[in-house]
């Protein structure tokens, strides 16, 4: 059963067509990686799926739910994070998480429990009462992940969340995504770090110039051109498309 069904999705910004008639399914229990060069339309696609940008045409369905009718229901299902997101600078991490609990409609008890769980999972105890601006990059990203999965969403959309992070934090985040996958959640993520794709992805969607050019797995991608590794395979695939 697919978590997200994207059909003929397009986005135009005045003269520029950022996404041009993209269609794909995102299944539950699998990690789908979205690959493409800079400006290919990855973030625009993810933004549309997350309901932050309105598509110019096409549809996005979440197991029969659409944004037009079930905006709030879909938002409760989605966990969304991008590399340029931030928590509120004038709030401590705990206050932000409490605020999110209120916005999700959680009871105080449930919010408290969830903060406990997440701070254990991401080792946030020491930074819970610090302001966002006082944290290191790794701590910032961990607290952002905690915020984005605060409501335990069944679909995770992560856009280049490991950019500019060190190996250890990146690995922790990847391990977290694997855990979530094992719980049967649908995961869609974009990245430029191909080792991460090789490490966790079950499927690869390649987008170039706003179009979906390939739907494959990393094993297939390497096997296709007898490449030595995924970097070479991806480079070759990009050249083919161009």
Partner 1 sequence: MSFRSVYTVFKKELLTLLRDRGVLFTNFFVPLFGLPLYFIFVFESASFMAKEEAKTTQDATQYQVSYQGSLPTDFIEGIKDSKKVNFFKNKEIISPLEIKTYLETMSHYEALNKATPRAEIILQNHDKNELEVKRLAVSKAKRAYITSYNKLKEKIVPDSDVHLVYLKGEENQQDRYLLFYDENKNISRWGKFWVTNLLESYESKLVAVNKEKKGITQRELNPLLIKDISLAKLSKDLTKTIGLSLGGIILFLLLIFTLNPTINTTIGERDGHTYKLLLMNPISPYEIFLGKYLAVAFQGLITLIPYGIEVIIGYTWASSNLIFASLPPVTPMKLTILIVGITGVAIAVSSICFLISSFTRTRSQAQSLQTLLMFLVAVPMGMIGVLDIGLSIETVFLPVLNFPLTVENLLVAESNLFLCLGSFAVNVVFSLALIWLSLGAFLVQWKGSSDTTTFTDLLTFKSSKSKKLSPAHAFLGFAISYLGHSYGGAIFKLFDAEFAVLFFTPLLFSLGVSIALFHHSGLDLTRAIRWNLPGLKEVFRYFIGAFLLNLVFGVSFTSLGFGEVLKDVYPQPFGMNSFFSLLSTFFLVSLIPSFCHEFLFRGLIYKGFRNQYGLLLSTVTSAIFFAIVQFSIGGFALAFVLGLITAVIYERKGIVSSMLFHCFFTSIAAAMAYSPQFQSYLEGIPPLASLLFLPITVAMGLNLALPQLNKRAFLSLAQRKNSPKKSEREMPSQEDDLAS
Smaller CB separation from partner 1, 84 or 126: 84
Smaller CB separation from partner 1, 50 or 194: 50
Q: Cα separation of 98 and 104, whole Å?
A: 10
Q: How many CB atoms lie within 10 A of CB 182?
A: 9
State in angstroms the smallest separation of the CB of 144 from partner 1.
8
Smaller CB separation from partner 1, 131 or 176: 131
State in angstroms the smallest separation of the CB of 115 from partner 1.
16
State in angstroms the smallest separation of the CB of 211 from partner 1.
25
Q: How many CB atoms lie within 10 A of CB 17?
A: 16
Q: Are 175 and 123 in contact (CB under 8 A)?
A: no
Q: What is the DSSP string of 65-91?
A: B-HHHHHHHHHHHEEEEETT----TTS
Contact residues for partner 1, defined by CB under 8 A: 50-52, 71-73, 75-76, 78-80, 82, 84-91, 96, 99-100, 102-105, 147-148
Smaller CB separation from partner 1, 107 or 219: 107
Q: What is the DSSP string of 43-62?
A: HHHHHHHTTSS--SEEEEEB
State in angstroms the smallest separation of the CB of 85 from partner 1.
5
């Amino acid at each position: 059963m697919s978590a997200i069904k994207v059909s003929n999705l397009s986005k135009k910004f005045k003269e520029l067509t950022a996404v041009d008639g993209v269609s794909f399914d995102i299944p539950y229990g699998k990690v789908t990686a979205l690959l493409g060069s800079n400006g290919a339309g990855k973030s625009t696609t993810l933004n549309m799926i997350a309901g932050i940008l309105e598509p110019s045409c096409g549809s996005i369905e979440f197991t029969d739910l659409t944004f037009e009718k079930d905006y709030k229901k879909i938002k409760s299902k989605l966990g969304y994070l991008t590399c340029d997101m931030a928590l509120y600078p004038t709030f401590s991490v705990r206050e932000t998480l409490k605020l999110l609990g209120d916005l999700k409609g959680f009871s105080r008890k449930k919010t408290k429990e969830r903060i406990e769980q997440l701070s254990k999972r991401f080792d946030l105890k020491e930074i819970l009462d610090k302001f966002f601006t006082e944290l290191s990059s790794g701590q910032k990203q961990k607290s952002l992940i905690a915020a984005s999965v605060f409501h335990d969403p069944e679909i995770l959309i992560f856009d280049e969340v490991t950019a500019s992070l060190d190996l250890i934090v990146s690995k922790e985040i990847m391990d977290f995504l694997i855990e979530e996958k094992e719980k049967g959640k649908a995961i869609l993520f974009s990245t430029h770090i191909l080792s991460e794709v090789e490490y966790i992805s079950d499927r690869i969607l390649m987008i170039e110039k706003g179009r979906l050019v390939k739907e494959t797995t990393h094993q297939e991608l390497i096997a296709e051109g007898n490449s030595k590794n995924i970097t070479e395979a991806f480079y070759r695939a990009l050249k083919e498309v161009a």
